[in-house]
Amino acid sequence: MSRARTAGFHVTGSALAVLFLLPVLWTLYSSVNGRRAADGEPGWGLDNYERLADHGGGLGAYLVNTLVVAVVAAVVTVLATTLGGYALARLRFPGHNLLFVVTLAILMVPYTTILVPLYILLGWIGLQNSLVGLGLVLAVFQLPFGLFMMRSSFEALPRELEEAALIDGCTPGSALWRVLLRGVLPGIVTVGLFSFLAAWNEFVAPLIFLTDGAKFTLPVALFNLQSGSLGSVDFEALQAGVVTSALPCVVVFLLLQRHYVRGFTSGALKG
């Protein structure tokens, strides 16, 4: 009976894996198979990627823009949530639980409803149509999850670690920097990875906050990927763009997978 159950698990898992991989494999196939750039006849090759590279301001520019936005969002999110998570987990001040609940309540607000106020705010501080300003906006959207993750990570660490550091002469800041950050590193990686991937794939916010075509991110550039008469879409080049957009995310995830998994389990047990 146990063998039959194990076999059933393997068959079900394999079927689900194939189900999830089929769209990915089809996208890879379509990105190298389609009409050739020169004569429009079907064929294999990298012609789709060549047309993608020549689209608009160039694929390289769009990749750099997207990378700048994603890095700014990830760095700001990690810094803000690490300090905030430490304060909520270790410091006791009036209303700290209420502050945490109010921050989490932001998750219940559709972020599209606050895009217009944020657009006006960026205009006040001179960051409209700016990659840095867009990165700050995307960081705001990641703060509730990041704060929850970092508070759980700090609470999972024994208080004795910080107390020992304070006895040895460390200030709270140096204890955080020298001792506690190593213990919450998986949580930091998880928050940074989530923020990076969300910013890399974001479409609505860049579409609203960026008005200069040279500053478009890759999702917006792919949306505008059109050629031919009557605005017909170059689907083959679009598939190549999907592969190009997904590849950095896959590489980053694989490099940080070990820390990512530990980050989700770090708050499961305390002590």
What's the whole-number mean pLDDT along residues 258-270?
Answer: 54
Coil vs helix vs strand at 46: coil
Of 210, 222, 203, 221, which Cα lies nearest the Cα of 111? 203
Which one-letter amino acid corresponds to residue 159? R
Coil vs helix vs strand at 34: strand
* Residue 271 pLDDT grade (very low, low, confident, very high; cuts 50, 70, 90): very low
pLDDT digit string, tens, across residues 228-246? 456 667 777 888 888 888 8
pLDDT digit string, tens, across residues 93-129? 777 778 888 888 877 888 788 888 888 888 898 888 8
Q: Domains in the chain and their CATH numbers? A: 58-265 (1.10.3720.10)
Instruction: Quickly list H helices, 33-130.
Output: 47-53, 59-90, 96-105, 115-124
* Residue 269 pLDDT grade (very low, low, confident, very high; cuts 50, 70, 90): very low
Which one-letter amino acid corresponds to residue 221? A
Contacts of 2 (CB under 8 A, 6+ apart): none
- What's the pTM? 0.83
Distance (Å) of CA 250 to CA 63, 113, 135, 197, 257: 15, 31, 21, 10, 10
